[in-house]
Structure 1
């Protein structure tokens, strides 16, 4: 995965190119090239902007992972929520072992990275990057795992990680996209306090994706880090799957092959919707506009349906009510998901609820 595109070839204070200047100067050059004030940013400032899976509120919206989840979708990177400071400042806290990747679908290959990180004697951190889609002009689409489900998935990986629950943290892509491979590894080692690094054999990093797994090992050694490079996962220990990837997951969803999706993810696929709880008892269909992640192809499926609710609209916080699960037939069309085979009791008061469908 590339961490940067585009070149910044402005001269430094003495005429040297940016690659030979201190990190703060390189950030100053990059901001100047973009027309911003030449204030400069250091590795320390970037690491202090890292965000994690915690909640905050900005203008009434919920901020998680540096992304905002609105009622019917996700807007990436409007600002960082939940500023993080290194846990190494806290006595008795294990140093992080960072696993590098996009972690968009949290499939069994991603789980293998977390599992490997847990073997290196620290706390597994899944490090990814916020704001990539917008900056790189990628097509906007629903995620595989919505923000409100990530903590649940990470907790389910605990048995694979020696009882540790991995955490997910995001670095702001805009701030690190111009870092050289060495600067990026230095950020992990010196500013985030990482003790080790885990990545897949095809991982690319640094300016113009100039770093590969071999360079990652060399730089890790240089900065005193343990480095573990993993082969790509191609099976679930029972069935050959080919190269496990998010692209494969999306393709299987598009084909309605939920068994294959479950094998790639290592768990049942969960579709999440946000609906008006005032009409829950009479709810027989859910509009596609309510989905928080990608639905399967049009067709009929059997799913376990459950309703989760709290007394607050921000229901992703501590949940105090769950109805179901009810085994139902669900029919997907171009504009809705129709429920057939059960009903829920009515809730008192007006509130937004989360409806999940596990396939």
Structure 2
């Protein structure tokens, strides 16, 4: 029999071994259609999806339930080594027809963010509640993507700020009610249509205990904003396995703080200020890319603080800056992304609110 001392040593060694295998961050993959005939920009073909899922299996990735993993990260509980989560937006029927068999065969859990208007009117291009119930039996989870997939920050003509917020509240609460009514539960997760939110919308999520996703790329960690979480798109231009491998091995940028100047871009070039945590990082290898413009200009304010500035203003629409930095091993990249909205007056966006 082991003595208490030997048992304690063995337990300590086992704990250390488990800790070494644990992961304190989570890459989340985002898909829409699984089809060769739907719009290429938001689609992955069944062959591409099979290739990606086979890679996850062969490379030893642990596909985890999204909500459970988010809860663990928030509580600073370790995830399995090489943990990754799979998600879909928009409740397209191709997910059931082409994606689900591939996931079921590999026993991979997944989450689908559903916009309920086409589901409720029984559109043949979208999932049915019965199909969702079937998918739930094999790891499927169904979450909120609003009723009608609106631009959540745009007001209708003549609409007051109060009426706009009431309409957005209804977009969220109605879907929560339909999930409860038809499936018996809600995971309390939401994906913002087009990735757009502001402080009022994010406060609404927090008040309801809903974790929400934007469309900036990156990995989730305990330091993330759980009302504006990142994901990696894995469809269309991002479906290539070679680039996906880099993202699957990404780590969260080790930031102490960030300053983005708000949710909206103006007629001036955007800039972000990033302050890094204490530690030995390859800061000289930090690179920031501006969508459609190339590299951002980097100004080091101090040894641990940098400002990245775009060369030109963004065009109307959504623009982003992605920053990456190799870790000390060179096997992983730290990853950070921020998205801004450049609106035009005719779009009716609500004003920036603090």
TM-score > 0.5, shorter chain as reference: no
Question: Which is helix-richer, 1 or 2?
Answer: 2
TM-score by length of 2: 0.31
TM-score by length of 1: 0.30
